Amino acid sequence: MARPVVAIVGRPNVGKSTLFNKLTGKRLAIVDNTPGVTRDRIFGDCEWRGRHLLLVDTGGIEPASQDVILSQMRRQAQIAIDSANVIIFVVDLRDGVVATDREVAAMLQKSGKPILLCVNKCDSVGDLPAEYYEFYNLGLGDPIPVSSVHGHGTGDLLDEVFERLPQEFTGVGEDEDDFIKVAVIGKPNVGKSSLVNKIIGEERMIVSDIAGTTRDATDSFVENDFGRFMFIDTAGLRRKSRVDDQVEKYSTLRTELAVERATVCVIMIDGVEGFTEQDSKVAGLALEQGKGCIIAVNKWDACEKDGRTMDAYRKKLMNDFSFMSYAPIIFISAKTGQRLDRLFELIKFVDTQNAMRVKTGQLNEILAAATLRVQPPTDKGKRLKIFYMTQASTRPPTFVCFVNSAELFHYSYQRYLENQIREVFGLEGTPVRFVVRERNEKSKH
């Protein structure tokens, strides 16, 4: 399911991170009374009344500050604002309206995004204090009283967030869930933008290009014979030791958000340069988030080759990407459009695999045959018993195994079972995850 993006912004120390933690139900953001603790953006899933959204916590905004750290925080908050569908602007009841609040309000109004004014630290239940009404002076409509510590008013806040979303969701009058969301990722200069531009230029049934209205300036909606796709072009990812320029730092944050939003990642590598360590780091980002993955070797038209070059290159890449052996490899040229039709087919196929659901009965048939073929491991005379297996979720396919001893369920045997499942159901292009649940043998039905 596509998730709208909601940014939580405001000046330092008004309780943004406390609100973020309350809405996500997790302690994802560090909370401290010292202004400026949250510097980078933090992402978290928020569920309300069966609907989900992606919350983005940001560092405090000091519009007029010349401090290097604060100016960097202002910059990363601006990226969150540009990427958001709705903005929650948090202010502090106890401080009242301060000059910085007015400056932040003016900055947010220029974004053209729906803004919800959230008055935090309304901790007492009952009539609102007189200080609350002062916030009408910001000109942002009815302020929403909230206590991020106690949770008062958070339901009303989320109701308002979802109320603002329908018209702002895609910016093209289309439901984003109808599109396969594809993040094109890789290190700099591998041809990511060239690939997206080629796709857009060649397709004759483009739905729309979003020019910064909803998510980011580089989302492109495409419809063709293969299906409906949303391509998310991203900035190149360099090694962190090289990310000293702040523009690149926030480009990295943009890429992480793009991967979070996508269901399929096209990991582009430079065919002329070959595999580098940074390529594996980029791929690891997609792996960690459980995305469907395709490895696209670009600039294949510029590579010197004979009849055996592709096979040799493929074998080397399979070794280089051994941690992602399930990912299909395709050789393309963004410049000439070579194999772009095949790329569309692969994207559609991998998206289907990432969303595959296997029936419990079929899973346990595979489990029974696999354990018969290769006995589960033992330790000190105790043998692993796997009572049964069921699929808990998709994207990626996640299987829960109920066992007598989690310690005995070694990674190597999990890998063996994964291979057996893949042999039957394919699951090409998607990672597979196992969740191990230990239970007493006597409780087995």
Check residues 22 and 36 and name the one with the higher pLDDT.
22
The strand pairing partners of 220, in sequence order, are 209, 231
**pLDDT recorded at residue 52:** 81
Phi, psi for residue 161 in degrees, rounded to 5: -60, -50
Q: Which residue's entry shows tokens 């000109």?
A: 139
Q: Is 36 left (phi over 0), alpha (psi -120 to 50) or beta?
A: left
Phi, psi for residue 410 in degrees, rounded to 5: -65, 160
What mean pLDDT value characterizes the chain? Answer: 82
**Which CATH code is given to the segment(s) 360-443?**
3.30.300.20
CATH 3.40.50.620 holds for 5-168: no
Residues 176-354: name the CATH superfamily: P-loop containing nucleotide triphosphate hydrolases (3.40.50.300)
Residues 148 and 21: their CA atoms lie apart, in Å, by 8
Residues 105 and 108: their CA atoms lie apart, in Å, by 5
Residues 184 and 235: their CA atoms lie apart, in Å, by 9
How sure is the predictor about 2, in pLDDT bands with cuts at 50, 70 and 90? Answer: low
- Residue boundaries of the structural domains of the chain: 5-168, 176-354, 360-443
Residue 111 has pLDDT above 70, yes or no: yes
Contact present, 11 and 19 (Cβ < 8 Å)? no
pTM, rounded to two decimals: 0.62
Of 301, 262, 94, give the one whose Cα is nearest residue 180.
262
Give per-residue pLDDT as tens, 49-93.
Answer: 888 888 888 777 766 555 544 455 566 677 778 878 899 999 999
Laid out side by side, the sheet with 292-298 consists of 206-209, 219-224, 227-233, 180-185, 264-270, 292-298, 329-331
The H helix count followed by the E strand count for the chain is 11, 18
Q: Which residue's entry shows tokens 């070059």?
A: 309
CA atoms within a 13 Å half-sphere pointing along the CA-CB vector of 432: 26
Phi, psi for residue 419 in degrees, rounded to 5: -65, -35
Of 27, 33, 37, 77, give the one whose Cα is nearest residue 56.
77
Contact present, 379 and 408 (Cβ < 8 Å)? yes
**pLDDT recorded at residue 322:** 94
**pLDDT recorded at residue 89:** 95
What mean pLDDT do residues 105-115 have? 89
Buried b (16+ CB within 10 A) or exposed e, 222-254: bbeebebbbbbbbbbbbeeeeeeeeebbbbbbb
The radius of gyration of the chain's CA atoms, rounded to the nearest angstrom, is 25
**pLDDT recorded at residue 69:** 42
Check residues 415 and 304 and name the one with the higher pLDDT.
415
Taking each helix axis as running N to C, give the angle between helix 277-288 and helix 246-261, from 0 to 180 degrees, rounded to the nearest 10. Answer: 40
Report which secondary-structure segment, H or E, holds 293. strand 292-298
Buried b (16+ CB within 10 A) or exposed e, 309-323: eeeebeeebeebbee
Could you check whether 5-168 and 176-354 share the same CATH topology? Answer: yes
SS3 (DSSP) at 444: coil
SS3 (DSSP) at 229: strand
Residue 172 has pLDDT above 50, yes or no: no
Q: Which two tokens stand for residue 37?
A: 């603790």
Cα 230 to chain center, whole Å?
14
**Would you give the DSSP letter of residue 286?**
H
How sure is the predictor about 239, in pLDDT bands with cuts at 50, 70 and 90? Answer: low
SS3 (DSSP) at 105: helix
**Long-range pairs, 33-37, Cβ under 8 A, ≥24:** 35/60, 36/12, 36/60, 36/69, 36/70, 36/73
